[in-house]
Amino acid sequence: MADLRTDFVGIKSPNPFWLASAPPTDKEYNVRRAFEAGWGGVVWKTLGYDPHIVNVNGPRYGAIWGADRRLLGLNNIELITDRPLQVNLDEITAVKRDYPDRAVVVSLMVPCDEESWKGILPAVEATGADGIELNFGCPHGMSERGMGAAVGQVPEYIEMVARWCKASTRMPVIVKLTPNITDIRKPARAAKAGGADAVSLINTISSITSVNLDTFSPEPSIDGKGSHGGYCGPAVKPIALNMVAEIARDPETAGMPISGIGGITTWRDAAEFIALGSGSVQVCTAAMTYGFRVVQEMISGLNQWMDEQGHARLADFQGRAVPNVTDWQYLNLNHVAKAKINQDLCISCGRCYAACEDTSHQAIGMSADRVFEVIDAECVACNLCVNVCPVENCITMETMPAGATDPRTGRVVSGEYANWTTHPNNPMATAAE
């Protein structure tokens, strides 16, 4: 079987699947159960100094479901751990002692001054923990107190705190980034400038998932009032993948270790994050939805896929997708494709026809007996029909070979690569000529 062992900035684990800092990692009992189920590591739920952390005793989660009641996203209004600091430290010590082969990283959030950060680090280091994760991402509750995302949205603060921590501990320092920012590259660059060993992302997205139309309060509602919270789960995966890719391909942060987070539910999700440069992946919502043993499916699925693809270890495909992520202006404008409907698989539901006729390019025709055919002269290969079709592989996109004539434009398909920077329709290119 493929070797899933991971060495992330010197932190070793038997596989790349770590539980993210969240309710599943809030205490020793949970973490022991997680390790017995097969998780390679955990990031312990965020610790801090404040003895007055009080979490709500009403609903803490809002949810978004698919049509089949499958959980697509969670919004939480939970704060950092409300258990005493020393209790957490003692439990971390015991867990690391009994599971020396597993990664134990401790998430931290303290006031943004040097003495607070320097003060907590020796106590965490004494537990034997493998590293620390600086929580600069929490978008609710703690940000109102000048911590969490309030720090993560200011690159200068990120660099400053990272430098304090690197100067005060032997442990690797991972900076957890907030997605609630315009350009994720700037905080990543700041983390690197401050000497951080790695970044992890994404933290939760500031959100309100729904409004109760009986009480007119956001959900979750506490005594008739609601607040914005942090959104996570499968729905945030596309945002997370893009932000991971932006850091991985940025010349200023290229090569910086990344722990990928955001909607990872299956082995395939994890493989996609790794292909975009992640050295480990962190999971929360999937564990909260399906229980700790979901990691067994992730491990076996990743193992099987790697064996089938001939990847002996994670490094064989880590970052392989990064060179293929580019800006729009560099896409091949001479590439031409057309949709094709497999009549043997078609169930004549008409979704492709309705979508294309009403909202796209009127490129699908319907006969009197409900046979649907693509009109090549109108098809622009937008692949909307592929995405709305309920039958997998019923509609595919077929690339036209070089030398063929595109029936839509009448142009001969060129085998030469062209992009917008040199395209004759680009006024800037024409001006340059």
Show which residues are catalytic.
138
DSSP element (H, E) containing 46? strand 41-47
Q: One-letter amino acid identity for 252?
A: E
DSSP state for residue 171 in the 8-state scheme: S
Strands (E), 213-298: 217-219, 229-232, 258-261, 278-283
Q: Provide the CA 170 distance to its chain's centre, in angstroms.
A: 28
| CA distances in angstroms from 131 to 44, 126, 193, listed in the order given | 10, 11, 19
DSSP element (H, E) containing 84? none
| CA distances in angstroms from 351 to 167, 284, 331, 382, 385, listed in the order given | 60, 35, 29, 15, 8
In angstroms, the CA 4 to CA 67 distance is: 35
| CA distances in angstroms from 366 to 63, 354, 371, 391, 397, listed in the order given | 39, 10, 6, 18, 19
In angstroms, the CA 306 to CA 244 distance is: 22
Residues in contact with 425: Cβ distance below 8 Å, sequence separation at least 6, in sequence order: none
